[in-house]
Chains A and B, each alone.
Chain A
Amino acid sequence: MAESEHLQQSEHLQQPEHLQQPEHLQQSEHLQQSEQYCSFLIGAYRCAVSMHHITEVLAQERLTPVPLAPHSVAGLLNLRGQILTVLDLRASLLPPGLPLSEEPMVLVLERGSQSFALLVDAIGDVLRAADEELLPTPETIPACFRGLTTAVIQQGELITLVLDAERIAQAGAAA
């Protein structure tokens, strides 16, 4: 697995206002039960997917565009002989016209026996969160994200949306 690249950007990223919550939650002490999440950015949104579903993180290579495919398809990628569909949910999640970051990354996700990839703007830290740290998704999260989000993690000032791999795949196929 590629080294998760620490994201300098994310530390001083301006969070969208509705994501900022005033109260500071105490971090749980029971980390035995905790799970690891790989965090990443889609636009300015901090998201994460359980490490169970992530097999690999790649720097974005040249993708082969698929003419006439839904706009959620960024292209196809050769991962050591396996052809992966790379989804790009930015178009359906973000306001139009936002450019892709300069060093976009590709997350390889597992969905059952099938793999697919997700194009993201940047990769962040690996988060550890115990089950009780997973909070219900606030109503303030934009609707398009809420469909993909199973929970949120708040650590310090940062709120991270925990996305579900299966839902990401479905959103990509449906768009």
Chain B
Amino acid sequence: MSRDDLGEELREFLIEAYENLDRTEQDLLGLDPSATHAEVVAATFRTLHSIKGACGFFDFAHLAELAHEGESLLGVLRDADHRLDDTMVQLLLDLLDGLRRYLANIETSGDDGEDTEAELCAGLRVARQEVEAGDVERNMAQFTVPSEVQLAPNIVVFTPTGEAAPPAKDPSPVHANLLDQAIRVDVGALDRLVNLVGELVLIRNRTLQINGVIEDAELGALARRLNLITTQLQEQIMQTRMQPMESLLAKLPRLVRDLARSLGKQVALTVTGGETELDRGILEALRDPLVHLLRNAVDHGIEFSDVRVGVGKGPVGHLEIVARHEGGSVIVTIADDGAGIDPSTIADRALRLGLVSPQTLSSMSARDRLDLIFLPGFSTSEEVTSVSGRGVGMDVVRTNVEQVSGTIEINSQAGKGTTIVLRIPLTLAIIPSLMLLVAGQRFALPQLGVVELLRLERESMADELAFIGESLFLRRNAQLLPVVDLAQLLGLGSTEALAQLQLVTIVVVQLGGRQFGLIVDRVVDTQEIVVKPLDSFIAAIGIYAGATILGDGEVAMILDVAGIASRATLSLDDIAVSELGDAHEDIVDEEIALLIDEGEAGLVAVPVFEVERIEEVDACTIEYLGTVPVIQYRGVVVEVVAITSLLQGDTDLPKSGALRILVPSFGNVDRVVAIREVVDIATIGGTESGSTIVGGRIVRIISLAEALMTRSGASRG
């Protein structure tokens, strides 16, 4: 049975019951000193009572029984003026969940189904008997101090702001007012309205265009009025799609509470800005990322009480969610005062996982390193999750946020805590875009990802652009950015044409932490466009975010930056390799080097440009050709040289465990260098072998090219 088949009364009942349960849950969780327990108990009682009453009407026996047991318990609690301790609150929350399960059953099948909550009913009965039996005194004695800490070992403090006053105090007048002033509107109807307004906007645009051509006073006046009214209508309709974030945020205290409880942590959650309004669709899309971030914060960020006390913090971890408007965006901040994230740990892991090359890493700020947490694949390694414990699924969070054209920013101070800032547009229905011309066809590119526009004259092209192999790169701020010829990517043109061009227009876009360029014919203008969905099999091509209708009535495809990047198979590796190619010329005195900890042999520095990549292999895959240790690397048998043997003559390689190898960037790879651990990146003077001091420790510098050449000379001689 689908939702539509349910009778109108039943639908009303379900909606109201869900709402009441949600509100009751907030009451139970929001047990702050200002709301008395008696009020909360009374409100909960009313909720259960009304559900029970409706059950009589609809004949849901099991639901009625559960509601009845709950109501009886609440009745006793009310009469005995019993304080709600943590166990009781949990029991009542379980009761709400049980009721919701029945409601869900009714929603899908029209019936409350089997008696699945017998255990819960029994629990409620036992609790009631205990309270009745005079445990009241004991509990009273235990919980007399009206402070939040006494309530439970795991506290969730929920501070609603604005209109979300506890309905427990006097729910009836508020409710009546709401009912008088508001009606329920089907979301689908709202969506259709938004679409129609989108059409009207296009007709307005067209009319204004025509008005520019035909000079007629009356038409001009009409066009201006049409313009004015359309703009207002658009604003109003957009407003109707707005929903306070309360509906999303209100679910979080329960989540945090349950999570903290299951982990045995103490977490106090503060939520502010629930009244901040956001487009319904975006709100929906924000749910998963927000839940994920909170989970991460409680699970990995906030320490256990004893650890916290040990480092001089209070035993209760604080988690704060703030939502507010800023410009045309909504900013959601999630801050915890937990352990924080160390950028160098992140960088180290990313390096070991091969997600980033040492070259790229060496030019990265601490901020950029922290952002490595968002790389796809960062979270997939078990080693990472168990050791660093952070960044689980952060790439997914970022993808979700970017899907609604939002951005995510992470700030963290090791030991102090982590703050994550989400910046979300108010609405997605209309987005500012660049209109591009590619091979004569118009395309829209959402402005959000656009970093800059470049026009290269023929003379400067050679300086700014470089072919490395088949790929084209743009020199930008001492970096090489991959460049994609959009016409070629779209199958509309070829790069031969590029060589003939007098002028090249490049749109530099940003995706995640990466930038790359798109070659276009030219940028026409910027427009606010209405995004229209595509048929699924066209969306499946992967490079279009939708389509839009232009002022002249024609359709233009909206390009999707992420899709283009993946189609062009841009990867960090490409960027790294390209930097390598040019690194040699630019280096004068200073050199960026990998710092390698060789245990007893001390610290060793290897110039970054000599290393193509760092691989992790299992030591037991090392075979011996005679006495020469070899390993299969990319289908080729290569010799493994321990880095220590370059320092002090031959040394043994480990026989088991993980082994890291440096793959040299020069010549044919016929030898790789085994190391223990890359610990950092440092700037050192010169590349000649010798020694230097980094952070107060003596570091020996090894030029792989030199050392390997000497060594091969020696072994041949």
Contacts and interface: CB of A to CB of B under 8 A. Distances in A.
A138 B543 CA distance: 42
A173 B491 contact: no
B532 A83 contact: yes
Interface stretch (A63-71, A101-109, A125-133, A159-167): A63-71
A68 B491 contact: yes
B91 interface: no
B441 A65 contact: yes
A76 B555 contact: yes
Given A66-B557, A68-B543, A116-B535, A81 B490 contact: no
Contact of B553 (A65, A69, A78, A82): A78
Interface stretch (B102-110, B138-146, B194-202): B194-202
Of A82, A83, A85, A114, most B-chain CB atoms within 10 Å: A83
Interface in A117-175: 172-173
Indicate the size class of the contact surface on chain B: 20 to 34
Interface of B is mostly: mixed
A62 interface: yes
Interface string B482-506: 0000000011100000000000000
B507 to A, nearest CB: 17
A73 interface: yes
B556 interface: yes
Contacts of B535: 85, 114, 116, 173
Interface in B529-561: 532-538, 541, 543-544, 547, 549, 553-557
Contact of B557 (A64, A81, A172): A64
B538 A66 contact: yes
A73 B198 contact: no
Contacts of B538: 66, 69, 73, 85
A85 B541 CA distance: 14
Nearest to A116: B535
A80 interface: yes
Contacts of B544: 66
Contacts of A70: 537
Contacts of B541: 66, 68-69
B491 A77 contact: no
B188 to A, nearest CB: 11
Interface in B182-231: 195-196, 198-199, 202
Given A83-B532, A173-B535, A78 B549 contact: yes
Contacts of A66: 538, 541, 544, 557
Contacts of A76: 547, 555, 557
B439 to A, nearest CB: 8
Contact of A64 (B195, B490, B556): B556
A83 B202 contact: no
B195 A81 contact: yes
Given A83-B532, A83-B534, A67 B491 contact: yes
A173 B536 CA distance: 9
Contact of A81 (B536, B537, B549): B549
Contacts of A67: 441, 490-492, 557
A19 B683 CA distance: 81
B547 A83 contact: yes
Of B537, B544, B553, most A-chain CB atoms within 10 Å: B537
Contacts of A77: 555
Interface in A76-103: 76-78, 80-83, 85
A81 B441 contact: no
Contact of B537 (A64, A82, A173): A173
B489 to A, nearest CB: 8
Contacts of A80: 199
Given A68-B491, A78-B549, A83 B555 contact: yes
A153 B490 CA distance: 43
Interface in B568-601: none
Contact of B554 (A64, A73, A82, A173): A64
Contacts of A83: 532-534, 547, 549, 555
A70 B533 CA distance: 18
Contacts of A75: 555
Contacts of B202: 81
A3 B4 CA distance: 38
A113 B167 CA distance: 42
A67 B443 CA distance: 11
Nearest to B487: A67
Interface string B314-353: 0000000000000000000000000000000000000000
Nearest to B556: A64
A32 to B, nearest CB: 34
A59 to B, nearest CB: 15
Nearest to B195: A81
Contacts of B553: 78
Contacts of B533: 83
Contacts of B555: 64, 75-78, 83
A77 B534 CA distance: 11
A114 B555 CA distance: 18
B335 to A, nearest CB: 42
A67 to B, nearest CB: 4
Nearest to B567: A68
B209 to A, nearest CB: 15
A91 to B, nearest CB: 16
Interface string B37-53: 00000000000000000
Nearest to B443: A67
A65 B556 CA distance: 9
Nearest to A67: B490
Contacts of A68: 490-491, 541, 543
Contacts of B554: 62, 64, 78
Contacts of A64: 441, 547, 554-557
A66 B492 CA distance: 11
Nearest to A85: B535
A68 B556 CA distance: 15
Nearest to A81: B199
Contacts of A116: 535
Contacts of B549: 78, 81, 83
Contacts of B543: 68
Nearest to A62: B554
Contacts of A173: 535-537
A78 B536 CA distance: 17
A85 B554 CA distance: 13
Nearest to A73: B538
- 9 closest Cβ pairs, A-B complex: A81-B199, A67-B490, A173-B537, A64-B555, A76-B555, A85-B535, A83-B532, A83-B547, A78-B549
Given A64-B554, A64-B557, 9 more contacts: A64-B547, A64-B555, A65-B441, A66-B538, A66-B541, A67-B441, A78-B554, A81-B199, A85-B538
Interface of A: 62, 64-70, 73, 75-78, 80-83, 85, 114, 116, 172-173
13 contacts: A64-B557, A66-B538, A66-B544, A67-B557, A68-B490, A68-B543, A78-B554, A80-B199, A81-B195, A81-B549, A85-B538, A172-B537, A173-B537
